[in-house]
Chains A and B, each alone.
Chain A
Amino acid sequence: MSVDTVTLTLPRKPGYLPLLHLVLGGIALRKDLSFDDLDDVQLAVDSLLAEDTGTSGDIEVKVSLKEDGLLIRIGVLSDSVLRESLRGEGPASQPDRRHLDICMLLRGLCEDFTVVELDGDTYAVELWKKAG
């Protein structure tokens, strides 16, 4: 079965986030996501990007419309502390660290997330959001 996929490359600048939100909204339409769920997806993506301190390169977003939800891949990320946190090796028990407990946020906003290693020290994060 074919899976519709939308790929978007954006400059790493805050001014483009609304555009990303609109695209995510347009895709969410196809899966009949509720306003609650759409806002969760957008916030999850925003949270990830806010936590990533990488400053170079574009943001690459790939959204796959699966039968029962959306798979959203966000890259290219390079923040090593964020990666540790996402892998559960991070500072969840060290409240004075700068990063929020991003795992808790993502788990609250999506069904699942996975770190996907890319070339060099970079990686992407896949978010899985179930529809309905």
Chain B
Amino acid sequence: MVQEPLNGTQRSSGFPPPLGDLPERELLRRVHDEGDLPARDELITRYLPLVRSLARRFAARGQSVEDLTQVGSIGLIKAIDRFDTNRGVELSTYATPTVMGEIKRYFRDKGWAVKVPRALQDLNVRLNKVIEQLTVELKRSPTIADMAEACGVSEEDVLEALESGRAYSSLSIYGGSSSDDDDAFAILDSLGTEEREYELVEQRRFLAPAMVKLDERERLILHLRFFEGMTQTQIAARVGISQMHVSRLIRKSLELLRSSMAEADGASPAEPVRGAAGR
């Protein structure tokens, strides 16, 4: 007599239940213990809506949702394969940052929108840190001359590097460099409800209704800059990102608002001269 395997997931009829009926835990167990590829596919299918949803959050930055979903799917597969079933968390909890990390990495790799010499890219990255250091040391925003001296380069080099940085569309996502992604993620999540108070005022007086197209941090930064009158340096300290990144986010946000309002108005945005903010 052939003994049926005692598996709580099988039906009394003896036929194995379709994968679609299996709980997530069982699918994960099969993937990890048995290398069950169909179970893995089932998990991917179940979580694709999550990936799409996350991809849509980044879609305003110039890439199609389909492309970003594909990129995010790689993150999802990594999450499934690396998931530790002994940890008491849901796959969704683990998959979300992994998918977002994959999408962010994709943008970072594609970030340089125009060809910028490597030396300028490196100087731009250096300046990012130098500005922060000098701001603390000097207790004010540094001048171009301050930066040039600190980096041991000419003032013209600094200007060029700063300008080239605008070609880097690191998006209004979570930080401009690989090292601050996780911190920035936490910052975004930690923006408290007290910061929401400004929304109503802004939407009534300022850029409504396009403001809703910005994420919470972008709205906060615009509010601090144009309603509270804070400088970029002060905002950088408040939000916990670099001054350069504040600058990029302001430009990006304004450009997004302009585009959104033009769309809402049904007008094709005539061809105004738009620069780095729109890149």
Q: Contact residues of A with B, CB < 8 Å?
A: 12-14, 17-18, 21-22, 25-26, 28-29, 32-40, 43, 46-47, 49-53, 55, 59, 92-93, 95-101, 104-105, 108
Rounded to whole angstroms, the CA-CA distance of A99 and B156 in the bound complex is 35
* Closest residue on chain B to residue A38 by CB atoms: B144
**Which residues from A are CB-within-8-Å of B160?**
22
Contact of A39 among B229, B232, B262 (CB under 8 A): B232
Chain A residues in 8 Å Cβ range of B247: 39, 43
A52 to chain B, nearest CB (A): 6
Partner of B142, one of A13, A22, A34: A34
Interface residue? B36 (CB, 8 A): no
Chain A at the B interface: mostly helix, strand, loop or mixed?
Answer: helix
Stretch from B19-27, B189-197, B250-258 contacting the other chain:
B250-258
Decide: B275 and A17 in contact? CB cutoff 8 A.
yes
Judging by beta carbons under 8 Å apart, are B272 and A50 in contact? yes
Say yes or no: is B206 at the interface (Cβ < 8 Å to chain A).
yes
A108 to B254, CA, bound (A): 13
Interface of B is mostly: helix
Check: B74 CB closer than 8 A to any chain A CB: no
Q: Determine if B272 and A52 form an interchain contact, defined as CB atoms under 8 angstroms apart.
A: yes
> 8 closest A-B pairs (Cβ-Cβ)?
A17-B275, A53-B270, A34-B141, A36-B141, A95-B208, A25-B159, A49-B273, A98-B265
CA–CA, A97 and B260, complex, Å: 11
A–B complex contacts, Cβ < 8 Å, 17 sampled: A14-B273, A14-B278, A17-B273, A17-B275, A29-B143, A29-B144, A29-B145, A35-B131, A35-B147, A36-B231, A49-B273, A50-B275, A53-B269, A59-B273, A99-B261, A100-B258, A108-B226
Give 1 or 0 for each of B157-195: 1 = CB within 8 Å of chain A CB: 001101100100000000000000000000000000000
Q: Is B225 an interface residue (CB 8 A)?
A: yes
Contact present for B145 and A32 (CB under 8 Å) = yes
Q: Would you list which residues of chain B between 215 and 238 have a CB under 8 Å from chain A?
A: 225-226, 229, 231-233
CA distance A59 to B195 in the complex (A): 40
CB distance from A6 to the nearest CB of B (A): 14
B84 located at the interface, meaning its Cβ lies under 8 Å from any Cβ of chain A in the complex: no
Flag whether B153 is at the interface (Cβ < 8 A): no
Q: Determine which of A25, A46, A101, A105 lies in contact with B162 in the assembled complex, contact meaning CB atoms within 8 Å.
A: A25
Tell whether B264 is near chain A: CB-to-CB under 8 Å. Answer: yes
Given contact pairs A13-B273, A35-B141, A26 touches B261 in the complex (Cβ within 8 A): no
